[in-house]
């Protein structure tokens, strides 16, 4: 069989009007690769993927690009510009146009943008079973930082003695941002603010002070805490996790073991990758699907 020729591809900035086509591609690309490996799809249906991309494409805090070939869209990618670390994704290519160099062009486009803005680093999360994305990101310069386990379910243990969980308020922002800076070296205040507006953000208090927070216990949310106990209190406080699940760093064996003994199920393995600034946080944390 003749190998397919690399298509002529142009890259341009995405507009909200591209959301339907890109959302459809996003759903199919993730659905196909997951099904090939026997994993559930990241998005339950194309309408959810369209909604997510519509929100991101309409946001001034994300830089989004589409690839076009022969007058039609064949893929898209996004750069989260909300903190001093740039988050990349979701990137998806039309299954009929994969492995022809389009993904590399879309990655290069957002990495060029990030380099212009000079963030301290770039990060992304990839499906660990996906050879192609691992190869692509590794050759683009990303280092493997953390194996992750996406877990879903509801914990048997719902409260942790000594830890009080409550909805986060804007007045909690300074304490949460200071905690994030102590743990990660930067804060994610804009994401937390968004979580507070959406009523998904929580804080945990122990001995009268904030010892952890979550922007959302969800695939697109992150959490940072001083200790595993604080994070367990946050995880146990919700009825279910938004989207495919929460991302537990697998090397935090004590936390992962607690999740499993509490009835949570592992959905799929993922990998956090980065370029530039990275430190191993001294506390407990959950990344979002972006980083
Ligand atoms: C992952 C994805 C975005 C990559 O885009 P793409 O257009 O298919 O990829 P490209 O052709 O640009 O690059 C793939 C690279 O990986 C290489 N590659 C593929 N499989 C490989 C393997 N098993 N081992 C080593 N290298 C491999 C290719 O040779 C190519 O490298 P090159 O650019 O040096 O030739 C796309 O396949 C996709 O949408 N997948 C489904 C959704 C998804 O997983 N998105 C990523 C979420 S993190």
pLDDT in tens, 156-181: 999 999 999 999 999 999 999 999 99
Torsion of CA 289, 14, 77, 37, to 10 degrees: 80
d(CA 203, CA 213): 4
Cα within 13 Å of Cα(80), Cβ side: 25
Q: Which of 4, 43, 132, 138 to mutate to test the pocket of ligand 1 (most atoms within 8 A of CB)?
A: 132
Binding-site residues, ligand 1, Cβ < 6 A: 29-30, 33, 89, 91-93, 98-104, 126-127, 130-133, 135-136, 139
What pLDDT score does 2 carry?
56
Please give the share of the chain, as a percent, with pLDDT higher than 70: 98
Inform me whether the pLDDT recorded for 6 exceeds 80: no
Do 233 and 163 contact (CB within 8 A), yes or no? Answer: yes
The closest-lying atom of ligand 1 relative to the alpha carbon of residue 97 is 7
Bond preceding residue 90 cis, omega within 30 of 0: yes
Q: What spacing in Å lies between the alpha carbon of 9 and ligand 1's midpoint?
A: 16
Residue-level pLDDT at 3: 56
Q: What is the pLDDT of residues 256-274, one digit of tens each?
A: 999 999 999 999 999 999 9
Structure tokens at 62: 């994300």
Q: What is the pLDDT of residues 110-135, one digit of tens each?
A: 999 999 998 899 999 999 999 999 99
For range 235-258, the mean pLDDT: 97
Q: What is the rounded distance in angstroms from the CA atom of residue 102 to the CA atom of residue 105?
A: 5
* pLDDT for res 185: 97
For residues 50-60, b (16+ Cβ closer than 10 Å) or e, as one string? Answer: bebbbebbebe
- How remote is the CA of residue 130 from the centroid of ligand 1, in Å? 9
Q: What residues have CB less than 8 Å from 139, skipping those under 6 apart?
A: none
Return the bridge partners of 68, or none.
10, 73
Q: Kindly report, residue by residue over 29-45, the tens digit of the pLDDT.
A: 999 999 999 999 989 99
**pLDDT score of 117:** 93
Ligand 1 atom having least distance to the Cα of 139: 34
Atom of ligand 1 nearest to the CA of 90: 47
Beta bridge partners of 79: 63, 88
Residue 73 has pLDDT above 70, yes or no: yes
pTM of the complete model: 0.96
pLDDT-based confidence at residue 7 (cuts at 50, 70, 90): confident
Q: Atom 31, ligand 1: which residue's CA is nearest?
A: 136
């Amino acid at each position: 069989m003749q190998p397919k020729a690399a298509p002529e591809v142009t890259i341009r900035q995405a507009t909200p009007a591209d959301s339907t086509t890109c959302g459809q591609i996003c759903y199919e690309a993730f659905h196909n690769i997951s099904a090939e490996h026997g994993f559930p799809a990241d998005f339950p249906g194309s309408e959810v993927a369209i909604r997510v991309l519509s929100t991101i494409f309409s946001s001034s805090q994300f830089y989004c690009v589409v690839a076009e070939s022969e007058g039609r869209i064949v893929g898209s990618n996004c750069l989260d510009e909300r903190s001093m670390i740039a988050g990349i994704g979701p990137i998806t290519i039309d299954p009929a146009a994969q492995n022809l160099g389009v993904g590399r062009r879309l990655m290069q486009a957002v990495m060029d943008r990030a380099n212009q803005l000079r963030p301290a680093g770039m990060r992304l999360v990839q499906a660990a079973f996906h050879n192609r994305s691992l190869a692509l990101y590794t050759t683009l310069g990303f280092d493997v930082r953390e194996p992750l386990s996406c877990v879903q379910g509801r914990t048997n243990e719902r409260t942790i003695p000594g830890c009080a969980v409550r909805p986060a308020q804007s007045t909690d922002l300074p304490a949460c941002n200071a905690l994030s800076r102590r743990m990660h070296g930067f804060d994610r205040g804009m994401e937390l603010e968004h979580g507070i507006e959406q009523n998904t953000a929580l804080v945990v208090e122990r001995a009268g002070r904030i010892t952890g927070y979550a922007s959302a216990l969800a695939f697109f949310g992150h959490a940072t805490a001083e200790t595993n106990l604080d994070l367990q209190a946050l995880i146990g406080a919700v009825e279910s996790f938004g989207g495919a699940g929460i991302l537990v760093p697998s090397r935090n064996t004590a936390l992962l073991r607690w999740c499993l003994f509490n009835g949570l199920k592992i959905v799929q393995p993922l990998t956090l990758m980065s370029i530039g600034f990275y430190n191993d946080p001294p506390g407990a944390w959950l990344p979002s699907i972006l980083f």
